[in-house]
Structure 1
Amino acid sequence: MSILAVGDVFVDRDDPATAFHSARDVLRTGDVVFGNCEGVFSDDIQRAPSAGSTLTAPAANAAPLAKAGFDIMSLANNHSLDGGHAALLSMRRTLADLDIATVGAGANLAEATAPGYLERNGTRLAFLAFSSVFPYGYEARPGVPGLAPLRAHTRYTPLDLNVWNPGMAPVVSTEPLVEDQKAFIDSITKARAKADIVVASFHWGDSTVPFSLTDHERRTARLAIDNGADVVVGHHHHMLRGVEFYSGKPIFYGLGHYVFDLPNLAERLARDGYLGVGRPEEMAAWARKFGEFMIRPREGYPLLPFHPDSRLTGAAVIHIAPSGRISAGFLPAIINPANEPMHVSADSDEGRRVVAYLERCCTTEQLPTRLVAPRPDSGLPTSCIEFVSTSTD
């Protein structure tokens, strides 16, 4: 059995039906297809007061997700409440009507943190979705709709404790909120008791730089596996991140985005006042922070205003053998100017670009992982690259 997982997905274009035209055949090779729904599909939009730049589209724009083969999607991300509570709940109904299950958000905290279950070929799978990146007020509460939160406090410590150096960039570390961590452990414990395979997904990380992993991501991934997860997948960064194994279980730290439409950027930023638009000092501060990775219009890519590295993408592929052995690979893709992921073989020229980027992701963060051609007993498709642990632990 195989699970395909992709990163951020949001369809907001003149002809939504074109979104997965090139990728559909690849996605349909998975027994289960998972993605992160990075926005709101609803006809009942009431902008959330704390929203940044909002991502909303008509409910009809969700239809291509079903045709592409998505079976289950995370709603735990920093845009899922952009349209307000009613829009979130109507989107859940829209996706359910399309036979797409959802996790990570709901009418209250219990519903938002509840696992979602699917069964394929006699194997029961559980999915969980939690977000660590979102505006204040997007979190679900006992009687309030929202997403499943997994927050952490941030601590800033001087780089050198023996030197006065005001203004120097600090060392950043985090400490999880106890109540969120408890809710997560309770949820994954329930999932482990009822499922053969547990997949935990997280919206997390620093999207302002490439390659980087925070201590929150590493700690949370291990926490998930220690409490029963078989696979961990992350998203939010817009660019790929590295992969490693912990206790023999794969951690895909960041799957980038897959089909993520962000049209009319200049008008959108002006409308929402996002990234300091209209306030020169704030705009300069954002530009210093993001540098070349600043979200801005990119020539030839009207729907994708991100750094060229974001055009390297693909789908994680997890093969589960009858014995329970898990193999982890990646099906590379290149996003074209129409903002469609074009899947390529890992041994093609374009495929090697994606593989080289993934290798750099692993090397930069010192992840003990090697990328190889699929081994004969892996069960992975020959067009992908396989991840193999080099750890001696």
Structure 2
Amino acid sequence: MTAKLILTGDVNLMNVSDPEVPFRRVRPAFQAADLVFSNLECCLYEPPNGHSVDNEGFYVAPSVAQAALTQAGIRAVGLANNVNYGEAAIMNSVSRLDQAGIAHTGAGADLQAARRPAIVDCGGVRAGFLQRTSVYWPTHHEARAESAGVAVIRGNTAYQLPMHKMRPEIPPMNRPGLPPVILTWAEPSYLKSFQEDIAALREQADFVVASCHWGLKEDVLDYMTEIGHAAIDAGADMVIGHGPHYSLPVEVYQGKPIFYGLGSFSFHTGHNGKKHGDWVGMMVRAGIGKNGVEQASFQFVRHNDENETVLCPLAGEQATLEKIRRRSAPFGTRLTENGDEVCVDLGSGARR
């Protein structure tokens, strides 16, 4: 039995007044799948006293957003990200999703609730999802034992003087102004908890997806690879990343895909009320079964002036594909074209 799973990047429904609009051009693709999972980068909540756009938190009209998600057929979402912020906003959003019957993971009334997985039937396959964010605010955002918030994996940053020829592009250390090498890594205790949760979910679900909000611009940082590999080592069948709003490289690790960045999927308004323009994202299609991922591909999507997400013909995205292919090459990933989709060769990947 092969079930059809679709995974998307960031969904933000700010400034949406008609729930039909954002997903109407992709609804046929969604309807052809058994399950759609998205990163929900907004809260279904309206602050009683209004909200300044230069403050953290992306708040959307609850009834409109709930209808948009339901009509699109999005059946599960991740909530662990940098804009699901504030106890009232998170709890109202969770309540609305529960009313709509949309499964969720990554945020809740306390740490236990935030770490809880979403388990959803996907064409006869029990699909389990866990989401964590490494991009979040240092106070009042991380879920605690007795307070609401999002589930996180803390990341660390260090700056190393390049005293040796570590990479070809690094100049020799005989000149002033040489920039440091930026090192990142996941906090071990948080990574261990994530692996424990994945292993526990492995006992409950046939297919496990680890969803991670991470990244900085277009770089695949060391901590992202560390988390992705750790998730698969613990039992995840697939890893998807989101957060920087860029389409990032793909890796195949132990025969399982890691999509480091799916970019935006439905995203009209960002920080400071800024309208997001003609971004390009990736919609993943996966054939899954009780023995894991059987095939994985992606199609590029863009955003038009009507705030619709549009599936892109691959013929018009050759430059985008070439960039993804070039940046995926160091991982040993092979990508092949099939109509408007890009197929990931699950037998590829660098030898380890």
Deviations 1:293-318 (A, max 9, x none): xxxx6xxxxx315xx5xx22231111
Alpha-carbon distance between aligned partners in 2 of 1:13 and 1:57, rounded to the nearest angstrom: 7
Query: Are the structure 2 counterparts of residues 361 and 60 from structure 1 closer, same or farther at C-alpha, using a change threshold of 3 Å?
Result: farther
Question: Whose RCO is larger (CA < 8 A, sep 6+)?
Answer: 2
Equivalent in the alignment of 2:167: none
Residue of structure 2 in register with 1:315 after alignment: 283
TM-fit CA distance, 1:344: 2.9
Question: Runs of 5+ in structure 1 lacking a partner?
Answer: 270-296, 298-302, 375-381
Q: Does 1:219 pair with 2:226?
A: yes
1:240–1:361 CA contact under 8 A, matched in 2: no
Instruction: Give aligned pairs, total.
Output: 337
Q: Deviations over 1:195-236 (max 9, x none)?
A: 1100000000112xx3x2000011100000000000000000
Tell me how far 1:244 sits from its aligned partner.
Answer: 1.2
Q: Distance in 2 between matches of 1:139 and 1:183?
A: 14
Unaligned 5+ segments in structure 2 are 165-171
**CA contact 1:5–1:33 (8 Å) conserved in 2:** yes
SS in 2 for 1:356: helix
Q: Cα–Cα, structure 1 residues 338 and 361, in superposed 2: closer, same or farther, change >3 Å?
A: farther
- Paired letter, 2:80: A
Please name the residue that 2:306 is paired with. 338
The answer to which of 51-60 and 190-199 deviates more is 51-60
Query: 1:386: which partner in 2?
Result: 343
3-state DSSP of counterpart to 2:178: coil
**For 1:258 and 1:221, how far apart are their aligned partners in 2?**
21
Describe the SS at the equivalent of 1:16: coil
- The Cα shift of 1:356 comes to 2.9
2:250 counterpart residue number: 243
Please name the residue that 1:294 is paired with: none
Partners of 1:86 and 1:46 in 2: CA distance: 13
Residue aligning to 1:304? 276
Cα distance, 1:151–1:258 mapped onto 2, change above 3 Å: same
Task: Calculate the aligned-residue CA RMSD, in Å.
Answer: 2.5
Shift of residue 352, structure 1, vs aligned partner: 3.3
Q: 1:324 deviation in Å?
A: 4.1
Q: Is the alpha carbon distance of 1:325 and 1:200 closer, same or farther for their aligned partners in structure 2, counting shifts above 3 Å?
A: closer
Label 1:354 to 1:175 Cα distance change in 2 as closer, same or farther (>3 A). Answer: closer
User: Which residue does the alignment assign to 1:65?
Assistant: 69
2:168 matched residue in structure 1: none
1:103 aligned residue (102, 105, 108): 105
TM-score (norm: length of structure 2): 0.88
Structure-2 residue corresponding to 1:43: 46
Partner SS for 1:54: coil
Instruction: Give me the whole-angstrom Cα distance separating, in 2, the residues matched to 1:313 and 1:172.
Output: 26
Equivalent position of 1:9 in the other structure? 11
Partner deviation per Cα, 1:86-128 (whole Å, 9 max, x = no partner) = 1101101101211211100111111111111112333211100
Q: Deviations over 1:42-76 (max 9, x none)?
A: 13468999x85432122123120111111111100
Q: Larger strand proportion, structure 1 or 2? A: 2
The partner residue of 2:321 within 355, 358, 370 is: 355
